[in-house]
Structure 1
Amino acid sequence: MTTDDHEADKTLRGKAEAQLQASPRPAPIQTPETLLHELQVHQIELEHQNEELRRAMLDLENERTRYQQLFDFAPIGYLTLDPSGIIEEINQTCCGMLGLQRQRLTGRRLALFVTPEYRGHLSAMLKRTFEALDRRSTELMLMRPDGSAFWAQLEGHAIDQDGRPGGRCRVAVMDISVQKQAQQDIMQLNQTLEQRVEQRSAKVRELSEELERFTYDVATDLQGPLGHILSFSDMLAKHATAQDPEVQRYADHIRRSGQRMEVLTTALLAFSRASRMRMRLSPIPMDQVLKDVRRKLAPDLTDCQAVVTSDPLPVVQADSGAMQLVLRQLLDNALKFTRGQPEPRIHVFTQDLPREVVIAVRDNGVGFNMRYRDRLFSVFQRLHSERDYEGAGVGLATVRRVMLRLGGRVWAEGRMNEGATFYLALPKHPGEID
């Protein structure tokens, strides 16, 4: 007997002694007085014990009723299953989900209320639940006797009080029909949006191709009239007399404007050809590409006395002609803007990023203001005076266009009078080329 039991007995005996002393004594009987006293005390103790038992039973009944209400009217369904999937207990919420009363569900297999195509999901979940110590869940379709079905998420747990896999599985059942419908609506919306995006993209590609064809045709058609303008301006200058300097000045102005326009149309044609050139991806050793470009630029390098150095360059997945065009444009650009330096230097190096290979060209030329870096790669946009640096403002735009077609990107960094660095980033695993 525990200490608490001794204390309870003392309390009961004390109560019994007090009640016995307060009550009138019965008539003497033919038994010893002490025996009579003990019998009366034990009788009163039993009455008190019975009263406390009644109160405890009432409290237990109230607790059981409260638990049953919480169990029955929980916002989600609860049930218990044995290892074969037979329903042992089920709450009222789950009964409402399945459309049957409790007595028609207990003792039956839960699989009978699962649509045939998802019964394998239930069997697999129960098997894993009874074998493991963690919770398992699955999504399946439950069906009612009237043939209607709904999406449900089942989460099972089969742990006993000692933390070991038990012989019963407690399962929570949640109706996720609304979530599934929302997912389906989102998927349909995404599909519709993808179709619209594809249609718009196709329209943009069509307009872009039409614009490129128009640009190419216009630039080609302008070459004839420009040739005539230059020829006639030369003839006009030859026929102008020394006594007519005004005509000579007009002729010179027409010739310079025609030559400038010829440069622009030639650059526009080159940009258009770069946009339409066919590309085939293959492993390209950039060391060999740089060597070929330096050989073609040898006269310019000699004239500028520029020192070109390079680190070992990687092999990239790209088009050989496209990479030669891009690298030549960047070296041309570096030569142009280092021309006024006492010791022009150009360095080609590489960087290895997780998903990209970067080729960079650094020079010690005039640099540029980073506030205007977005204009560098736009057609006919210039950051320096045309009088100081020749060009049409198309070279870097061509670089950007080619890099986009290769699935890469291009950017630049620079500071005024401290040089510039142009970066080409190519994906290590490129997709299809447009």
Structure 2
Amino acid sequence: MESPATLEASLQALEAQVLRLQTALDQTQVLFQESPGAAFLLIPQGRILDVNVRGAALLGSTREVLQGRRLAQSLAPASQPTFAALLARVFEGRGRQTGEVQVLTSGGEVLDIALEASPQQSGGESPCCHLTLTDVTAFKLAHRALWDTQQAQETQLQDQALKLRQLQEEFESVMLASGREMEATLTRAESFLTLSRQHPETPSYLAHAEDGVRQTQGLLESLKQYMQMRFLRARMRSVDLGRVLREVLKDVQDQMAGRDVQVTSEALPTVYGDSQALQIILHEYLSNALKFTRTQPRIRLHVLVQETETEYRIGVEDNGVGFNMRQKDKAFELFGRLHPSAEYEGTGLGLPVVRRLCERFGGRAWGEGKVDQGATFWFAWPKTPAGK
């Protein structure tokens, strides 16, 4: 049998332990009550064991009124099954659970609530659930307003895109009709001038008019090509550039007739793109090279190929008049010229067409040269083009 002194010491130790537990419980209660969020303690039946000040304020009630009441009574009917399922998962031992519900306040207000629930033991008694509620109503309203604004903007963009397509189609129709009318007018003018030349008293200045008509016809043809490029319906497929080069060389036979022309080429790759666009590009480069080598007794053209991880670079090198690199960007401007029109015919639309075609598919176009030492015009074609 223990002595009175031993019992007294054990009793004091037990009282100290109870005091520490009570202190810890009081501190926990203080932390719970002063939690910055709305906090609840629920028993498995979903009844409120305790609620902090912010939780009671969220429901528009008091702690005393809410204790023992089912929290589901404060939820919108549509949210009650969701809440019951979430609570069941917590008490089945599935750990922390999150969800969203709608709360009905005592004032009739509907709040969108994000909740987080986790299991918690309460002093050795039945398990309880610690529930934190966060009012996300303002966030939801802002999100819905943003969504509505986005939908309105998408509708507006679709309307604008439709109007733009209609304007584009109208513009295309006007340009085609205007082109046909201009072509017919120029043909009549050319016929008149041809007949006038046969008359012995034809004024000499009509020859200048005839040159003007021919230049205008060339400009019209270039504009038609430019419009063709602008409204090109891309058909993406594998394109053998070697085959394209052979077709282009057939097209420029007239420029090569009676001249000492040698065309060589490195092995050209098969690329993914639009065959019509690639034919226009190579045709313009070869036609340009033949034009600016006409003063050379022997014309040498060479097609170069460079490959990187992302693109193929194709260049057409010539031994013609070349150009000053300070003017390299001018060649690709609309109606830009590097040489006088009196010496070299052209409208200044060919290279801009090339650049725009390349850019349309995610590529690039540029030129390199030196005066009287030839030029090389390049285009870079991506291995994964953005054709549209």
What TM-score does the superposition give when structure 1 sets the normalisation length? 0.65
The amino acid of 1:93's aligned partner reads R
Contact 1:287-1:312 within 8 A present in 2 as well: yes
Superposed, which structure 2 residues align to 1:54-133 within 5 Å?
Answer: 71-81=32-42, 86-119=47-80, 122=83, 123-124=85-86, 127=89
Contact 1:311-1:348 within 8 A present in 2 as well: yes
Coordinate RMSD, CA, aligned: 4.6
Partner residue, 1:171: 131
Partner residue, 2:179: 219
Contact 2:86-2:97 within 8 A present in 1 as well: no
Q: How many angstroms does 1:262 deviate by?
A: 0.3
User: How far does the alpha carbon of each residue in 1:116-146 deviate from its partner, in whole angstroms, 9 at most, with x for none?
Assistant: 544565435873797667x654333233356
When residues 97 and 205 of structure 1 are mapped into structure 2, their CA distance, relative to the original with a 3 A threshold, is: same
Which stretch shifts more, 216-225 or 389-398?
389-398
User: How far does the alpha carbon of each residue in 1:315-358 deviate from its partner, in whole angstroms, 9 at most, with x for none?
Assistant: x3x554454445434554565567769743222455554xxxx4
- d(CA) in 1 for partners of 2:114 and 2:308? 49
When residues 262 and 413 of structure 1 are mapped into structure 2, their CA distance, relative to the original with a 3 A threshold, is: closer
- d(CA) in 2 for partners of 1:390 and 1:83? 92
Choose from 336, 349, 352 the match for 1:394: 349
When residues 237 and 282 of structure 1 are mapped into structure 2, their CA distance, relative to the original with a 3 A threshold, is: closer
- d(CA) in 2 for partners of 1:182 and 1:74? 26
The amino acid of 1:272's aligned partner reads M
- d(CA) in 2 for partners of 1:171 and 1:343? 84
Partner residue, 1:309: 266
Partner residue, 2:215: 260
Choose from 411, 416, 426 the match for 2:364: 411
- d(CA) in 2 for partners of 1:334 and 1:214? 34
- d(CA) in 2 for partners of 1:267 and 1:125? 75
Contact 1:338-1:344 within 8 A present in 2 as well: no
Q: How many angstroms does 1:177 deviate by?
A: 0.9
Runs of 5+ consecutive residues of structure 1 not aligned to the other structure: 1-41, 161-166
- d(CA) in 2 for partners of 1:142 and 1:337? 81
Partner residue, 1:347: 304
Partner residue, 2:190: 230
- d(CA) in 2 for partners of 1:376 and 1:128? 73
User: How far does the alpha carbon of each residue in 1:341-379 deviate from its partner, in whole angstroms, 9 at most, with x for none?
Assistant: 9743222455554xxxx4532233547758874x66665
When residues 268 and 88 of structure 1 are mapped into structure 2, their CA distance, relative to the original with a 3 A threshold, is: same
User: How far does the alpha carbon of each residue in 1:62-88 deviate from its partner, in whole angstroms, 9 at most, with x for none?
Assistant: x98787566435442122445675543
Contact 1:125-1:138 within 8 A present in 2 as well: no
When residues 256 and 287 of structure 1 are mapped into structure 2, their CA distance, relative to the original with a 3 A threshold, is: closer
When residues 370 and 427 of structure 1 are mapped into structure 2, their CA distance, relative to the original with a 3 A threshold, is: farther
Equivalent pairs counted in the alignment come to 362
Q: How many angstroms does 1:185 deviate by?
A: 1.0
User: How far does the alpha carbon of each residue in 1:38-78 deviate from its partner, in whole angstroms, 9 at most, with x for none?
Assistant: xxxx9xxx9xx9xxx9xx98xx87x9878756643544212
What TM-score does the superposition give when structure 2 sets the normalisation length? 0.71
Partner residue, 2:206: 251
Q: How many angstroms does 1:419 deviate by?
A: 3.0
**Structure ID, larger Rg:** 1
The alignment status of 1:196 with 2:151, answered yes or no, reads no
- d(CA) in 1 for partners of 2:256 and 2:92? 78
- d(CA) in 2 for partners of 1:129 and 1:329? 77
Q: How many angstroms does 1:392 deviate by?
A: 2.4
Q: How many angstroms does 1:109 deviate by?
A: 4.9
Contact 1:126-1:156 within 8 A present in 2 as well: no
- d(CA) in 2 for partners of 1:120 and 1:384? 82
The amino acid of 2:217's aligned partner reads E
Percent of aligned pairs with the same amino acid: 22
Q: How many angstroms does 1:171 deviate by?
A: 3.4
- d(CA) in 1 for partners of 2:324 and 2:80? 69
Contact 2:116-2:133 within 8 A present in 1 as well: yes
- d(CA) in 1 for partners of 2:326 and 2:25? 76
- d(CA) in 1 for partners of 2:43 and 2:276? 71
Q: How many angstroms does 1:175 deviate by?
A: 0.8
When residues 88 and 388 of structure 1 are mapped into structure 2, their CA distance, relative to the original with a 3 A threshold, is: farther
- d(CA) in 1 for partners of 2:309 and 2:300? 29
Choose from 218, 237, 252 the match for 1:283: 237
Greater share of residues in helix: 1
- Match of 1:127, SS state, is helix
